[in-house]
Structure 1
Amino acid sequence: MKVLLISPQGSNIYAKMKVGLPPLGLAYLAAVIRENGHSVKITDRAIEKKDFIPEDFLPFDVVGISADTPRYPEALEIAAVAKEAGKTVIMGGYHVTFLDKEALETGVTDIIVRGEAEEIIVNLLRALENGDDLHKVKGISFVENGKLVRTAVALPPKDLDAMPFPARDLLPMSKYTSLMAGLPVTNLITSRGCPFNCYFCSSSRFGGIKWRYRSAKSIVDEMEILYHDYGYRAFAFMDDNFTLSKRRVMEFADELEKRHMNDIIWWCFSRVDILIRNEDMVKRMAEAGAFQIFLGLESHNEGTLDDYGKNIGNKEQDQAIALLRKYGINIHGSFIVGDINETKEMALQTAKWVQKVNPRVAQFSILTPYPGTALYHDVEREGRFLHKNWKLYDALHATVKTDGMTPDEVQKVLIKDYRMAYLSKYRLFHPHKFSPEMSLKLKNLRAKHEKIKNRVNPISFFVTFWSEMQRTKPKKLMAKMEKENKKKRSLHVTDNVTKGIDLTVGDKETNLINGMYIDGNSRKEKPSKKQLI
């Protein structure tokens, strides 16, 4: 079969600033589709910005579209054009995994793939090609005779080392211009699943609570291709739990050393509690080129941390920050604004602490109830949604009615937090300094890439950010959306689907995705040691 995979651009600030990385999810899918004898093409609309017309889809049998929450409206627009061309439309990704009914009710998508799709898509394409019964394909949702069908749960891939590397040859790699310390950076995924089931995150429900990981050898094999064939010297590991296994991190560092890859830098996600328990691991990471670590610090208010189920406090946060600084690793701190109970005074407490900590990167986000999270379930149950304009579910816009601040105040606090973090005396008079070893490494690497011009201009970024915040003030936005919603309620909706759909099912399993209820719940589940490793 001939398959077209599409990654929507999205409308948020980062998309406008062209801060992006290759869509590895689709690249993984393309690799397994091609491996199974089909032809495949990827279109990343963050790079290729043309509007689709029906004729664009004529060469293909199937159109697959990735749909996370803020890009879901654009995904529907693309799907509508593909359907006009008479093509079978498949959607996958976080948003439609948890809101499959909503997506199918639009009438512009035929099949939803729930959860990690590499094995599901192969079975689905085989069924479509042979005209087989779709009920036998696990992990999909579709409409049949006006009723919703959810097939049995498909377990996520177990052996990640056995999967082919992402099909980067199908992507315009030279056009991705994100940088790390002035160097072109590209992304990798080294593990899946998350045992922590955080209140505001859907990763555990999408990929399961059992952590599955690639071996150190597999990771460095992929890095060598990126190193030699594409010239990358900076790498970003995008999985939630890169450091969950100390043994794997140590093996990874040894593998880099064995292959003489000592002229690289890298970035990864980690957790405060993992770092402070493993100082020797942090030291080894620094020796192996760890440039920056992303930490979800979220808040400096103990009550807010408890609300998020972080199981850490201010003391542990300060210990992790001190530990990273001891070994010369930069901090990418992530902070959340707009907890249900947060007041302006509580938010200011966190902002002042961020000033003092002065991380190399301070990232502020508004608490956003993404489908599939326990937060979404609670906000729905308590009637706190301001709106469901999914384009604005980018963690930069207020979407929830909180007790401590008005929506306008939440967005103003976000702007103030960024201003305090980046225009503070701490940052102006205490510039970040690298360790002597890192300074020398960066000097040598930058000499090889001195022609690089594609830096994200901070002033331009803040102008774009400010303009977007002014354009989408909640009061103004709500009035505008109220008018638009009347028109949009019937857009792309097919009568036979909306009138005939029936979600009453006798088997609980049909409401599960990788062992978790797709409608979400507010129950905190504590992982077992077996789930952690």
Structure 2
Amino acid sequence: MLSGCCDKMICKMILTSLVSNDADPDSGADKGFMMIGKTMCESDRAYPAPGSEAQSGSLNPIGLIIPPSAFLLDERVFVSLGILKIASALEQQGHAVALLDLSGIKNFDDALVSFLDDNVIKVIGITATTPQLPAIAVVAATIRRLRPDIRLILGGPHVTLVYAALKLERRTRPGVQGRAAQAAAQLEEMFDVLVTGDGERAVFAALAPDAPKVIDGDDNKGPYFLSNADFTASPLPARHLIDLNTYKYSIEGSPATSLIAQLGCPFSCGFCGGRNSKSLRIIRTRTVESILAEVKFLHKEYGYTGFMFYDDELNVTKTMVNLLNGLADLQEELGAKFQLRGFVKAELFTEEQAEAMVRAGFRWLLCGFEAAHPRILTNIRKRATLEENTRAVEIAKKYGLKVKALMSLGHPGETEETALSIRDWLIKSQVDDFDCTVITTYPGTPYYDEAVPHPDLPDVWTYTQPETGDRLHSENVNFMRTAEYYKGDPEGGYVSHIFTDALSPRDIVNLRNVIERDVRAALGIPFNPSRAAVLYEHSMGQSLPPFILRSSSVTQHQ
């Protein structure tokens, strides 16, 4: 249903999330999160008290659904933390939660039918990134057909970004029913309630009998936006409601999982989702003590020694060094050795940070360098120069940190020369791993929000970079039918719905494949493995297995 403020919005939410997690899902969809917003006065209570106005509904069991992500090489790598934050908020207020995890389930519709047959659920919440929409359309249609009495609530990155795009569209083109208005109307027709924003509070408004069609929380002056104190005080994600053993991820051989220490990214990259969304741009932090408490809990409860920090950039807050020192101290207290991984901003990365990260247990750094040509770095408003990107790699290598470079192709003004500069820079820099993804234009990204209809080509929209005049063209995609995604099977699995004045969609896919092939061959980096989806086996009288359905209380018929 909603995605809690804890889901990471991939820098490339032209990508998303609810966890975009392929076999190495580093640009991924759990970067997708959902927020709503008004800064509330800080209090010791993170969520509304039972019986308060925000929780006027009964304490009936609530169903939550993690939809499948069939476009990923492996759907069970990183956990969808956002919806687990919603679950923990509901449990804290006395609701029983039944969570249906359809990640990696090939015949997910059969599992859904079994869930609907066996449960007394009256409300179901679903979280959605944009590339999950075709599957979500199937889920919603099945629920409507079999259980029309159920209230359907949708939240997550897609909803937030569509309504951020709609607000901009109404401000800049009043009276025009543009792409954002059409996307919003499509959602409003399919669901009873739509939530944009921090779901931890908004979920209670969505449960109210008189809930409005849209609960608008993408506003830092609204009643649902979590303050730093609220974020700190909120309960941990309800990881007990999923089968963590089926999520396979490791760092340097250590079993690993992900967590979020801070929210938001203040930068203005043209390709990135949420740049016109308050909830995705305002940084929210929690105390170092609360972060360390979560790491300690995950280690003691589940035995994890590997941790992926899915913050947009670890090195944008002043508390970074304090956190690193605390992680080092925690390992000494526990007698453990952690293997850590996280994102950094290249132009902010320093030797002091690198030294502290190594001491804390970091082994891998990920950085969205994105491009390797000065013109493209200007066009995407990356702020980091090619020289700063190179320096960041050099610092990391000096201190023994491995670097995964996150690159993207198909920006305004892209040519064969600018594309192949990615290949040449990656090889010259001797990175340890990389992604090179084809740009997609999702609602909530400037490439989508600020585009206008092409004067000659039907169903094509054009974004013009305001400083250079370079253009990016995108086909108008029905996201409910087309799983437009940023990352696919390298063996013919990539599709481009964008093109530039110099490169056709096919040119862009072919260049991406050349970059992938040449860099992996030159640096000896293997392709990411895939894992086949699981076929849910069902028979008369057999209940759903615990890797698909878990409940915080008995919600099935006796």
> 2: CA distance between counterparts of 1:361 and 1:156?
37
Q: d(CA) in 2 for partners of 1:62 and 1:186?
A: 29
Q: How does 1:439-454 map to 2 (within 5 A)?
A: none
**1:81–1:104 CA distance, 2 compared to 1 (3 A):** farther
- 2:201 is aligned with 1:113: no
Aligned equivalents of 1:243, 1:207: Cα separation in 2: 19
* Letter matched to residue 264 of structure 1: F
* Equivalent position to 2:102, from 27, 45, 51: 45
Note the alpha carbon deviations across 1:279-326, whole angstroms, 9 max, x for none. Answer: 212211111101111111111100100001011211111111111111
Residue segments in structure 1 that go unaligned for 5+ positions in a row: 142-149, 432-456, 465-533
> TM-score, structure 2 length as denominator?
0.70
Q: Distance in 2 between matches of 1:339 and 1:121?
A: 37
SS across alignment from 2:316: coil
Offset at residue 202 of structure 1 (A): 1.8
CA shift, 1:399, in A, is 1.6
Q: In structure 2, which of residues 321, 335, 340 is the aligned counterpart of residue 266 of structure 1? A: 340
Note the 1:421-436 alignment, pairs <5 A: 421-424=519-522, 427-428=523-524
| Structure 1 residue 241 displacement after superposition | 2.5
| Distance in 1 between residues matched to 2:184 and 2:120, nearest whole Å | 25
Q: Structure 1 pair 38/380, CA: closer, same or farther in 2 (3 Å)? A: farther
Match of 1:65 in 2: 126
**Partners of 1:250 and 1:281 within 8 A in 2:** no
Deviates more, 1:375-384 or 1:30-39: 375-384
**Pairing of 1:177-216 with structure 2 (within 5 A):** 177-204=248-275, 205=277, 207-216=279-288
1:404 matched to 2:526? The reply is no
TM score, norm. by length of structure 1: 0.73
Q: Indicate the residue corresponding to 2:313 in structure 1.
A: 241
- Aligned match for 1:386, one of 475, 482, 485: 475
Aligned twin of 1:520? none
**Counterpart residue identity of residue 22, structure 1:** V
**1:31-42 matches, cutoff 5 A:** 31-42=88-99
Q: Check conservation: 2:268, 2:381, Cα contact below 8 A.
A: no
Instruction: Decide which of 89, 92, 96 is 2:155's aligned counterpart.
Output: 92
Give the Cα separation in 1 of the matches to 2:415 and 2:320. Answer: 41
For the aligned residue pairs, the C-alpha RMSD in angstroms reads 2.5
Alpha-carbon separation, structure 2, partners of 1:136 and 1:69: 20
Which of 198, 211, 226 is the matching residue for 1:134? Answer: 211
Q: Taking structure 1 as reference, are residues 459 and 331 closer, same or farther at Cα in structure 2, changes over 3 Å only?
A: closer
Which whole-Å CA distance do the structure 1 matches of 2:259 and 2:520 have between them? 29
Structure-1 separation of matches of 2:396 and 2:528: 28
How has the CA–CA distance of structure 1 residues 263 and 109 changed in structure 2, closer, same or farther, with 3 Å as cutoff? same
Q: Does 1:82 align with 2:143?
A: yes
CA distance in 2, matches of 1:246, 1:153: 27
SS of alignment partner, residue 474 of structure 2: coil
Matched with 1:313 is 385
Q: Secondary structure at the match of 2:475?
A: coil
Number of positions where the alignment pairs a residue of Structure 1 with one of Structure 2: 416
Contact map agreement 2:372 2:386 (CA 8 A) in 1: yes
Identity of aligned residues (%): 25
Q: Does the residue aligned with 1:156 lie in a helix, a strand or coil?
A: coil
Deviation at 1:154, TM superposition (A): 4.5
Residue identity opposite 2:130 in structure 1: T
Q: 1:3 aligns with which of 56, 62, 68?
A: 62
Q: Which amino acid is the alignment partner of residue 295 of structure 2?
A: M
Residue 326 of structure 2: aligned partner? 254
Give the match for residue 204 of structure 2: 122
Alignment check: 8 A CA contact 1:194 1:207 kept = no
Indicate conservation of the 8 Å contact 2:90/2:96, yes or no: yes
Q: Distance in 2 between matches of 1:332 and 1:303?
A: 23
Aligned to 1:70, the other structure's residue is in SS state helix
2:323 and 2:311 mapped to 1: Cα distance? 17
Provide the residue aligned with 1:357 in structure 2: 429
Q: 1:249 to 1:459 in 2, by over 3 A?
A: closer
Aligned residue in 2 for 1:503: none
